């Protein structure tokens, strides 16, 4: 069964058709379910659901694609994006963005609309920030790591 309702899928498809003209790759770092149950070893609670959700999202635009990396099989697959083996599920948006946008955890609830907006921004390489803010960001003297903690509700 689809995670995204038909109504939401139609809305997002229309939004993407207008705002996602350039390609965006969603790079997912996940952990495939182990064939063995090992006491003390935790399965990733939201990995499968996140992969299903992202598959549904990228299907809504011909300019989107999903690349899936299993960190259980290849723990170093996320190194270029600073993703370590315990950071599952997580994904990075690659397009015309200059910096890096990463999501840790399933983008459910309110975060789903954040994801849809971010995909559009990464596709166009532009944001709704004011010119003054953009100028200031272009002149930052050092690296900045912003962590935004959220919950799905």
Partner 1 sequence: MAVESVRVTADVIEANEFPGLSDRYQVSGVPKIVINDKVELLGAQPEKRFLAAVIEATQERVDQ
Residue 27 CB, shortest distance to partner 1, in Å, is 14
Q: Smaller CB distance to partner 1: residue 34 or 96?
A: 96
d(CA 103, CA 147): 10
Q: Cβ atoms within 10 A of the Cβ of 64, count?
A: 20
**In what order do the strands lie in the sheet containing 24-30?**
64-70, 24-30, 90-94
79 touching partner 1, by CB under 8 A: no
15 touching partner 1, by CB under 8 A: no
Binding partner 1 by CB under 8 A: which of 16, 107, 112, 116?
107
Binders of partner 1 in range 127-146 (CB under 8 A): 127, 129-130, 133-134, 136-138, 140-146
Binding partner 1 by CB under 8 A: which of 32, 72, 94, 102?
102
Exposure class string for 40-57: b at 16+ Cβ within 10 A, else e? eeeebeebeebbebbebb
């Amino acid at each position: 069964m689809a995670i995204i309702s038909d109504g939401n899928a139609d809305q997002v498809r229309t939004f993407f058709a207008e705002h996602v003209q350039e390609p965006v790759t969603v790079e997912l770092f996940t952990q495939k379910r182990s064939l063995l149950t090992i006491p003390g070893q935790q399965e990733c609670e939201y990995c499968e659901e996140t992969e299903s959700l992202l598959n549904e999202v990228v299907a809504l635009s011909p300019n989107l694609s999903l690349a899936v990396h299993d960190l259980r099989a290849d723990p170093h697959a996320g190194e270029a994006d600073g993703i370590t083996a315990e950071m599952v599920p997580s994904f990075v948006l690659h397009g015309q963005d200059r910096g890096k946008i990463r999501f840790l955890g399933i983008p459910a609830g309110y975060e789903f609309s954040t994801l849809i907006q971010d995909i559009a921004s990464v596709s166009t390489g532009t944001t709704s920030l004011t010119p003054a803010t953009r100028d200031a960001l272009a002149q930052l003297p050092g690296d900045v790591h912003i962590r935004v903690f959220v919950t799905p509700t």
